[in-house]
Amino acid sequence: MNLEIQTNNIDLLYANVQKIGVCIFLPLEEKYYRANEIMLGVNQFIVQDPDDYLLRFSEDLGVRS
């Protein structure tokens, strides 16, 4: 299962997650996804919890054509 959790300060959250030693499944990255004629942007990273759920933290970057 992959759960997405939106945040307004992904850089601070990522730094805190690293500081407490949580294992990062996918490092912080900028990613754009196509939605019809536009591209939706996010900064995101993923951690895997002890029950093997993937937690995707993301911050909206807006859209581009």
Residue % of the chain over a pLDDT of 70: 100
What is the spatial distance between Cα 17 and Cα 56, in angstroms, rounded to a whole number?
A: 12
Please give the structure tokens belonging to residue 45.
Answer: 């990273």
Which tens digit of pLDDT belongs to each residue from 3-42? 999 999 999 999 999 999 888 999 999 999 999 999 999 9
Which tens digit of pLDDT belongs to each residue from 14-24? 999 999 988 89
Topology classification of domain 2-64:
2,3-Dihydroxybiphenyl 1,2-Dioxygenase; domain 1 (3.10.180)
Work out the number of other CB atoms within 10 angstroms of the CB of residue 44: 21
Q: Amino acid letter at 55?
A: L
The contacts of residue 10 (CB under 8 Å, 6+ apart) are 28, 43, 44, 45, 57, 58, 59
Q: Where exactly are the structural domains of the chain? A: 2-64
- Confidence label for 65 from pLDDT (cuts 50, 70 and 90): confident
